[in-house]
Structure formats: C-alpha cells, structure tokens
Structure 1
Amino acid sequence: MTMKKVFVLLAIFCSTQAFSQKPINRLTYSEVIELAREQSPQAILAKHRFRAAYWEYRTFIAEFRPAVTLRGTVPQFTRSLVRYQNPDGTYQYIEENSNTTSLGLSITQNIGLTGGQVFINSNLERTDILGSNSSTSYLSSPVSIGFSQPLFALNQLKWSKKIEPLKYEEAKRTFIQSLETISIEATRLFFDLAMAQQNLETAKLNYSNTDTLYKIAQGRYNIGTIAENELLQMELSFLNAGNALSEAEVDLLLKKNRLKSYLGLNDDYDLEIILPDSIPNFDVDFDRVLTLSKENNPQILNFQRQLIEADMNVAQAKAERGLNANLFASFGLTQRASDLHNAYVDPLDQQSVRIGLTIPILDWGLGKGKVKMAQSNREVIRTTIEQSVTDFEQDVFLKVMQFNRQDDQVAIAKKADLVSQNRYEVTKQRFLIGKIDVLTLNVAQTERDQAKQKFISTLSSYWQSYYQIRRLTLFDLEKDAPITTDFELLLK
C-alpha cells in the first residue's frame, strides 16, 4: 500500500471518528418530512414567494379603494425678472422676489367598470412678494370635484379584476404544492442516507465475514483441501471488502451532509435515520385523481390566466389601433384675498372640460400588424395549452399507475430481502463445511446485498410516488381530505 493511500485512509478514519463523537440525532421518516416542510431553506423561500404574491394582490385591491393624498410646497422661493404691462400698453421687465407656500388635499377613486377616476380636491396657496412693495395674498380652492375618463382605451382595471384573483389563488396553491415538492426531495435524500447507512452496515459485515473466511481458506490451503486459485479468490474478496468499507464510510458522510443541509440543521449533532416500518395500504382511482388535479392543481389556473392575458393583449392592440380620446371635467370653487379668512368668503365657481383626441391617419399598417400579432400569439398560447392539458392528463395517468404498483413492489422487495439473507446464511454454512466453492458464496453475498438495496430503493420510490400524487391533487387521498395551510400564519 502506497503512502498516499495510507494518508487517505487515516484521514477517513479520523473524520469518521470525530463525526461519531458528536451527540446523535435519530430521526424518523415523518420527522424528516416535518422538518423539511417547516424549516428547510426551500420552505422559507416558498413562504417568501407567497408573501410577495400576497402583497401584489393587496396592491391590486388597493387600486379599487379611495386614496387620500396630502401635497405641499414649503416653501418655493423665486427671484426672477418678469414682464409687466404698463397702463399705456408698453412692457417693462421688473425684478420679482416671491415665496410661495401651498397645501392640498385630494381624494381619488378608481372606477373599475369604466376605467376612469373621480376626484375631490381642496387647495390653499399663499404668495408673499418680498422687497419694498411687499404684500401677501391667498388663493383658495375649497372644493373641486371632477372625473377623468378614457373613452376608447383598454380598461386595465376590468382586466385586472379577472387576472389578479386568479394569480393570488394560483400563488396559494403553488405554495401548498411547493411543500409537497419539498417532501419529495426530502424523501429522496432520506432514502439516499438510508441506503448509505445500509451499505456501511453491509460493508462492515462483509469485511468481517471475508476476514474470517479468508483465514479459514488459508488453513484449508495449508492442508491441501482447496486449490490456490480459491485462496486467491478469497483474498481478493477480502481486499475488495476493505475497499468497499472505506467507500461506504465516505459516502455516508456525504449523504448525511446533504440531508442536514437540506433540512437546515447545524453541525452540532450527528444524524442517524430510522426506516419506516410500514406504508399506507390504499389504491387511487384515476378518474378521481384526474378530477381533483383539474380542480386543485395550480397549473390549471395558470393555463386559464394565460388565456385571459392573451385576450387582454388582443383587446389592447385593438384599442391602440384606432381613435383614442380622454374626457376630463371638473367643477369647483375658488377665491383670492389678502388674508386667510377672506380667501374662503363668497368663493367664485370655476369649471373645466377637456376632451383630448388622438386619431391615427397614416401608420403604414402598424396598428393592424400589432392586432394580427396579438391574435396569432393568442392562438399559439391556446394550442400550447391544449397540448399541455393532454400531457398533464397523461402524466396523471402514469403517476396513478406507478403508485398503484408500488405497494406490491414493496412487499415483493421485502420478501426478496428476507429470502436472500436466509440463502446467504445457508450458503455460508455450506461453504464452512466445504460443500460449495467460494464463487457460489460470493454470488449469494452479492444477491443478498442487492436485495437489501432494492428494498430501500423500492421504499423510496413508494414514498416519492405518494407525495407526487399529493402534489398533483393537493388532496390527501389517504385521509380523504384536501391539503390546507394557515395562510394568515405565513404573513406574520
């Protein structure tokens, strides 16, 4: 053995010894799933994604509620030359030093039905002329009521009322689905570690067995009851068992670190997991799973939202193509005076009406092209969604078929594991009394190891399939109840 290999083995030994000296945290499968759903970095990210969606929805709701705004300018100082008209009609430029202070209060309300806006304003402005001819004046607008209304433009508020509630419901379902995705990944890492634990136990057992059998083979070779090639075969098995033991120790450390990292656990504790001793025993019906998936899966809501957004883009392109007009009207009261009190005495009325028009005369087909592109994009989205729905249904069918086979697969793998262990013990005893050769013993050992790995792998497949069904339906078919969560708690 080279010095490099010696150092590697020493490093492995020291690291495993140091790791094993830590207090052991033994976790069951259900505890690992619970930790992953509550404190894993992925769960925290899912929570913050939902919070962002919630505040986006709250912003949408706020657009339909009155907004109160206070505006002010304190102060606005101006020093400039202004043109002044003399009584004889001539003009002269005089220097003006002024300070203006203003305060205004406005209440606005969007109108979802029309896309317009109504408002109520109240303003007060004070102007101080500085210098030798100093003076103070007030300009008040106690109340001004009006509205602004686009006449032919896209009603964005109307479309938002269709899209935003769908987006928020999609976000809630996506959060629940993300927890099931986390459970699937935690399941994979759990059984990867379970496989690594079992491989290490098997490697230790094989190393011990091959050591014993190699010593027995040496004794038999010395008395001439076995050939040299059988002795060499046993020596090779012993060396391979030692190598497999080193690899299993390193692999176990790697799988532990991966699971601990995913669960957000610190390094103060070693980790050991306990395999579940049972599985739920139930089958699922394809038609029911498909119905629940179409009712609950956020992907279906996403398809609906895409179609609505495509319709909105077509409507927007059509609205921008032709005549655009904006109507603005207001009625209010105003007064000016040299003191604050008189600025609110006998106010005068003031009105304003304005209609702005935009009429495209020659655009070389630009507007028509935008409409055609929006319509084509809508058809592309509709066709893509139809294909996606078909793929979705096929995916549901495959996952249901896979799940309904898993319980039988687990039972078969468990039975095969027991049979292979018994066969190995029988084969080992027959080898010890010289009835079979070393090759037959190695085959029995390999089949025993593979059966144990197959059992753990089948358990992993079962639980991943279990959570895939939950992820599709957002429904607990075992308990016959929808999967829910306290969304209010997520916002705290």
Structure 2
Amino acid sequence: MKSKFFFLIFSCIVIEIFAQTPNYPNAWTLENCIAYAKENNISIHSLRLSKNSTYQDLLQAKEAKYPSLSGTVSQGLFALNGSDGLHMTGAPSQSIGANSSMTLYHADYIKNNETSKNLLVQMADLSVQESENNITLNITQAYLNILMNQENIISLENVLKTTQTQLKQGDQLYKAGSLSKLNYLQIQSQVAQDQYNLTAAQNNLRTNTVNLKQILQLPSNYDFQIVKPDSIIVDNQLKTLEDVQNLAQNQRPEIKYSELNVENSNTNLKMAKASIQPTLSLSGNISTNYSNGKGNYFNQLGNNFYMPIGLSLGIPIYNNRIYKTQIEKSKIAIEQANLDLQNTKTILNQQIEQSYINLQNALSQYDSAKTQMDISQQSYDIVNAQMKIGSIDYVQLQQQRLLYIQSVQNFLQAKYTAVLNKQIYEFYADNPINLK
C-alpha cells in the first residue's frame, strides 16, 4: 500500500515537471528563434494582455446602447415587547422592485465611444506587431553574430594548424642547426598568438550565444545551440529605394498605428462635442410591497404593483468650462496626432534610406574584402612553401600571415554585415527574415 502511495506521488511530481517544461523547438534555426520569441517573449505577452484589456473596454462600449436593468429586494423586521421580554418578528414587511434606463439620444456619443474603443483595440494589436518586428531584427543580428564567430573560429583553427606545422618543422631545423634560436622563438611566439586569437574568438562565440539566449529569455542552465544553415549567400539584387519606401508606408505597423491614432483623435473630438448636447433618456421601474397584518401576501403584491415610466432630458447650461476645455484639448490632440503621423512617416523613410545606403556600402566592401582575402590566401600559401625550402626569412612569413588573418576577418565582417543589411532592407518591404 505504501509503495503504491509513493509511486503515485512520484508520478504526480514527474507529470508536473514535464508540464512546466517549455515547448522548445527541436532545432534552433533563425526562423524557429523568431517564432519562439514571438510566442513566449514577456514584453510581447504583456502587450497582448493590454490588447485583451482594451477589448474588454470595447465589449462594454457595445453594451452601452442597450437598457440597463437592476433589481432590489428588501426585508424588514420589527421587535415586539411582550410580557416575557423583547421579541423579533420575522417578515413583517417586504418590497420588491426592478429599475431600467436607456439613453435614447446623446449626439452619437455611444456610437463614437464604441468606434473609439474599436480603434484602440486595433492600435493595441499594431503595438504587438511592432514589438514583434523589433525583436525579430534583434534576434537576426544576434544569430548572424554567432554564425560569423563560428566561421572565424574555423579560419583561426586552420591558421593555428599551419603555425603548429611550422613549429614542428622549425624544431627539426633548429635541432639540425639550420634555424637560429631567434627565429625558432618567433615561431613559438606565433603559435602562442594564434592560440590566443582562437581563444578570444571562442569567448566571443560564448558571449554572443548568451546574448541570443537572453533575448529568447531561456533559462541559464539550458544548453542552447543554434543550427548553422547549409550556406550563407550574399545576394546583391536590390529593390529600388522608392519601391521599398512605398511598401513600408502602406504596410508597417507603426504607420498604421499613427493613422489610427489620428482617426481616434477625431472620434474623441466628436465625443467631446456631444458632451454639450442635450441627453434624452428613458427610465422606468416596477415595484410592489407587502406589510404584515394587511392581508394575504400574494394579494398585497398584486394590489401594490407600481410601474412608472418616464423620459428625462438633460441640458448642459454651465459647467465651469469643463466641456469647452475638453473640446479644445481634443482639437489639439488631433493636430498632435497628425504631426506624429508625419514624423513617423519621415523617420521610417529615413531609416529605409539609411538601410539602403548601408546595404550598398556593405555589398561593395564584401566584393573588395573577398578579392583581398583570395589574394592574401594565395600569397600566404606561396610564402609558406618558400619558408619550407628556406628561400625567405621568418619576418616575411609573419608579415604575410598577419595580412592573411586580417583579410579573413575583414571578409567575414563584410559578409555578415551585407547579409544582415539585406535582411533588414527586405524586412522593411514586409518580406520575412529568411537565410535560405
């Protein structure tokens, strides 16, 4: 019996642990990273909750055009002083009623209030989309940094293997008396420097991996590893700047948000103007009551039935300029919303233009860096071959080696900068991030 009890507890704990385990992707590709962040990011979740809250305001605004209804029931008790003391007597009196009211006319205030709340729901949804766009770009940059680090490590490992081979050859030459001690020490120093460069690159990889892991808000003890794409291609085919700007102006959430903000500000002005208009309301109630000692309970309820219905007209006359101030401030809000829309469009066009320039520069640097790396690699291979037969000295080898390492790092920097800028530029045109 005890074993079954402990087995049941253990099973519950295991089920709870698995229930709390997040649904991580099988492989952390760039697309999976972006999808995971959109689904699980805390800030985006908070914006979605704000949208849900705004939607509840919309539901309430929709119900405002219908009559309200409330009911009341009251029960009275009284005390009688008898020969044996004070006694409480139950149910001596009772009243039952219901009240209802409905606004018949308020210069379309109810309709405009519903319109305003609907616009706010749409704006809240656009805020979610804008936040998703921002985190998409952050993840893309962090992901590409990791890929660049990985390629840099591979190149530095190859350089280290070459210098280690040179050290073995130098050791043999030094023991044979064909290499001076100074040159032998210089080769040892070169190996140490290459090992240092490789360690630094590995540290950068760990740092950038943690950075992406933190953007995804993964646990510290989670073993996070990305999946490297089969290939990273630098695509130099560009849409025209004008086409991308036009697409962005029609599709980007920040533009739509500002446009809805202008529309909502105009709706708020209509609501403010409605405040100085008369309000016509319909109200009514039904009630009945019962008193102890005045006849049958149900007969009393029927005989005392009362149902008044009436219209009421509210006319604002003087309110210490409260409504007038609301109207003037609403007009100011409209002007501010239009300025915000114009500013948002201007900033977006500037960002796209800067992205276009950055992409053009990156593509030019990529072509130059690739040519430089190819030449440096050929030169380094030739110098290595000459070093083996002793036709050049160590200084020349070291100079060419440094040029080669620098050219590789320049190439990788240019390559991933070009890829990143292309992704950003295409993203403005509403194209999804995709390294394939």
Aligned to 2:12: none
Determine helix, strand or coil for the equivalent of 1:345.
Answer: helix
How large is the RMSD of aligned CA atoms in angstroms? 4.2
What displacement does 1:297 show? 0.9
Determine helix, strand or coil for the equivalent of 1:348.
Answer: coil
CA contact under 8 A between 2:58 and 2:117: conserved in structure 1?
Answer: no
User: CA separation of 1:182/1:391 partners in 2, compared to 1, >3 Å: closer, same or farther?
Assistant: closer
The CA distance in 2 between the partners of 1:385 and 1:277, in whole Å, is: 41
Aligned to 1:63: 60
Aligned to 1:119: 68
CA contact under 8 A between 1:284 and 1:477: conserved in structure 2?
Answer: no
1:461-472 paired onto structure 2 within 5 Å: 461-469=417-425, 471-472=427-428
Determine helix, strand or coil for the equivalent of 1:63.
Answer: helix
Normalising by structure 1, we get a TM-score of: 0.64
Matched, 1:345 2:298: no
Aligned to 1:360: 318
The CA distance in 1 between the partners of 2:229 and 2:92, in whole Å, is: 87
1:41-440 paired onto structure 2 within 5 Å: 43-45=40-42, 48-49=45-46, 51-65=48-62, 109-111=63-65, 118-132=67-81, 134=89, 136-141=92-97, 144-148=99-103, 151=106, 155=109, 158-161=112-115, 163-214=116-167, 216=169, 233-263=186-216, 264=218, 267=221, 269=223, 271=225, 273-279=227-233, 281=235, 282-311=237-266, 314=269, 326-338=279-291, 340-346=297-303, 347-356=305-314, 358-360=316-318, 363=320, 372=328, 374-400=330-356, 402-403=358-359, 413-414=369-370, 416-440=372-396
CA contact under 8 A between 1:283 and 1:404: conserved in structure 2?
Answer: no
List runs of 5+ in structure 2 lacking aligned partners.
1-24, 82-87
Normalising by structure 2, we get a TM-score of: 0.71
CA contact under 8 A between 2:249 and 2:345: conserved in structure 1?
Answer: no
User: CA separation of 1:294/1:43 partners in 2, compared to 1, >3 Å: closer, same or farther?
Assistant: farther
User: CA separation of 1:185/1:369 partners in 2, compared to 1, >3 Å: closer, same or farther?
Assistant: closer
Determine helix, strand or coil for the equivalent of 1:390.
Answer: helix
The CA distance in 1 between the partners of 2:400 and 2:45, in whole Å, is: 53
Q: Deviations over 1:269-292 (max 9, x none)?
A: 473653541438543243432332
Determine helix, strand or coil for the equivalent of 2:163.
Answer: helix
Determine helix, strand or coil for the equivalent of 1:435.
Answer: coil
Amino acid at match of 1:243: Y
Identify, as 1 or 2, the structure richer in helix: 2
User: CA separation of 1:357/1:437 partners in 2, compared to 1, >3 Å: closer, same or farther?
Assistant: same
What displacement does 1:328 show? 4.3
Identify, as 1 or 2, the structure richer in strand: 1
CA contact under 8 A between 2:383 and 2:397: conserved in structure 1?
Answer: yes
The CA distance in 2 between the partners of 1:284 and 1:477, in whole Å, is: 16
List runs of 5+ in structure 1 lacking aligned partners.
1-26, 66-108, 112-116, 479-492
The CA distance in 1 between the partners of 2:99 and 2:240, in whole Å, is: 65
Q: Deviations over 1:323-382 (max 9, x none)?
A: 576554423443333455235425233245545555337x5x787666555544543443
In percent, how many aligned pairs have the same letter? 15
